[in-house]
Amino acid sequence: MSETQLDLFIIGAGPAGLSAADVAAREGLSYLVIEKGLIADTVYHYPVGLTVFSTVNELEMREGTLKPCREKPTREELLSHYVHFALERDLRINTEEEVVQIKGNETEGFLIETTRANYVARRVLFAIGAMSRPRRLGVPGEDLSKVHYRFVEPFPYVRKDAMIIGGGNSAAEAALFLAEHGARASLVIWRADWENRDPKKGAIKHWVREPLEREIALGHLEVIFCAAVEEITEREVVIRREDGETIRLPNDVVFILIGSEADFTLLRQLGVEIMPAGLTSIPVYDPETFETNVGGIYVVGHFTHARHIKEAIAVPRRIVPLIAKELRGEKQIV
C-alpha cells in the first residue's frame, strides 16, 4: 500500500475534528480527517428529533450560521449544520474508515494504519470523543437482543413494556420520549441520581425533569429506585430494591444508558498516560497545548477536560495554529 504524507492527521470528524480540519486548512497544512462512522457521527446517533441542551452560540462552527426554527436546534438541524460546514469548506475527510494502529515518533513521523490505507504524518491529533465504549452493568443477560445501549426513537415500542436503566440525562430523555409515545415505561434509577439537583454534578436537566414528572403523574411512567440490577432474562429484569427485596419486572425492551468511555487503545499503544478523572479517565496532556506526554500526539474534545461542544470547537482553534507554527520551524509561543 502506498503511503500518503501529511503534516497533521486528525482522527474523528465530530465538532472537534471538524474545527481542527478547518484551522489546518487555513494554516496551509496538509491534513486529513479519518472518521470510522459518518460526519458528526455522535450527533447522528442522538435520538431522532431530540432538541439539544446547548445554545446556538455554543454549537455553531461560525457565528450566525446555525439557524434553528426554535431557540435551540434539534439533532437534525445540528447534524445538517456540521455536514454543510464540511461540504462548504471542502474539508478533507474520509468517512467509514477506522484507524487501527499508530507507530513511530515526532522525529521520524508517525505511521498510521487504517482499515483502508497507510499514512505517514508529522503530528497526530486525536478527536475521538468518548462514545466508543458504552458502559455495561456486568450482569447476566446483558447480551440479549432486547437490550440496547443507545436509544434512537420511541415508535417501535408503542404499547410495549420498556425499561430504561440509568440516572443521567440520556436515560431521562429516553424515558420521556417513550412515556410520551405510548410505551409502558419504567425508569430504574439510583435514588441519589434522581434526587440530584446540581447541574454541575450531572443532574437531569430541569426541562427534561418537568415533563418527566408530568408523565409520572399521568401514570405513563413509573420510577423504580434500585440498589442493583441483578439479571436480565428474555421476559424480565431482576432488580434488588433499596430495602433488599428482589423484584422481577416484565419487559419487552431494555435500554441501559449509563454513559460511555473513550477507547484509549491507540493512545496507550503510543505510550500516552491515562489518568482517572471522577467516574471516567482522561489522557495526560499539557493544558495549554493539549500535547500529551508523547511528543507530537495531541488530544481534543469530549475525552479531555474540555468536554462540551463549545470547547471541542474552541480548543483546536487555539492549538492547531501552534502546531502549524512549530512545523514551520518557528518558535512555539504559548
The 3-state DSSP class for residue 241 equals strand
In this complex, which beta carbon is closest to ligand FAD, that of residue 42 or of residue 292? 42
Interacting stretch for ligand FAD, rule CB under 6 A, among 29-37, 134-142, 251-259, 316-324?
A: 29-37
For the chain, the distance separating the N- and C-terminal CA atoms, rounded to the nearest angstrom, is: 38
Q: For residue 52, what are the CA distances in angstroms to 187, 189, 314?
A: 21, 22, 19
Q: What whole-number distance in Å separates Cα of residue 239 and Cα of residue 301?
A: 36
96 lies in the site for ligand FAD, by CB under 6 A: no
Q: What whole-number distance in Å separates Cα of residue 169 and Cα of residue 181?
A: 18
Task: Tell which one of 8, 32, 60, 129 touches ligand FAD (CB under 6 A).
Answer: 129
In this complex, which beta carbon is closest to ligand FAD, that of residue 99 or of residue 239? 99
Minimum CB distance to ligand FAD, residue 173 (Å): 7
Q: What whole-number distance in Å separates Cα of residue 108 and Cα of residue 298?
A: 17
74 lies in the site for ligand FAD, by CB under 6 A: no
In this complex, which beta carbon is closest to ligand FAD, that of residue 240 or of residue 308? 308
Task: Answer yes or no: are the C-beta atoms of 125 and 27 closer than 8 Å.
Answer: no
Site track 41-70 with ligand FAD (rule: CB under 6 A), x = hit: xx---x---x-xxx----------------
In this complex, which beta carbon is closest to ligand FAD, that of residue 219 or of residue 287? 287
Q: For residue 71, what are the CA distances in angstroms to 51, 56, 67, 133?
A: 10, 8, 9, 32
Residue 276 identity: P
Q: What whole-number distance in Å separates Cα of residue 60 and Cα of residue 69?
A: 15
The 3-state DSSP class for residue 99 equals strand
93 lies in the site for ligand FAD, by CB under 6 A: no
Largest CA distance in the chain: 67
Minimum CB distance to ligand FAD, residue 73 (Å): 9
35 lies in the site for ligand FAD, by CB under 6 A: yes
Minimum CB distance to ligand FAD, residue 72 (Å): 8
The 3-state DSSP class for residue 233 equals coil
The closest alpha carbon to 11, from 262, 289, 260, 259, belongs to: 262
Task: Tell which one of 86, 102, 112, 127 touches ligand FAD (CB under 6 A).
Answer: 127
In this complex, which beta carbon is closest to ligand FAD, that of residue 114 or of residue 251? 114
The interface with ligand FAD within residues 275-314 (CB under 6 A) comprises 301-302, 307-309, 312
Which runs of consecutive H residues, i.e. helices, occur in 30-111? 41-44, 56-59, 75-88
89 lies in the site for ligand FAD, by CB under 6 A: no
In this complex, which beta carbon is closest to ligand FAD, that of residue 127 or of residue 239? 127
What are residue 51's DSSP bridge partners? 74
In this complex, which beta carbon is closest to ligand FAD, that of residue 239 or of residue 297? 297
The interface with ligand FAD within residues 217-276 (CB under 6 A) comprises none
167 lies in the site for ligand FAD, by CB under 6 A: no
319 lies in the site for ligand FAD, by CB under 6 A: no
At 300, list the grid cell.
Answer: 481534543
Residues that bind ligand FAD (CB under 6 A): 11-17, 34-37, 41-42, 46, 50, 52-54, 98-99, 127-129, 131-132, 170, 301-302, 307-309, 312
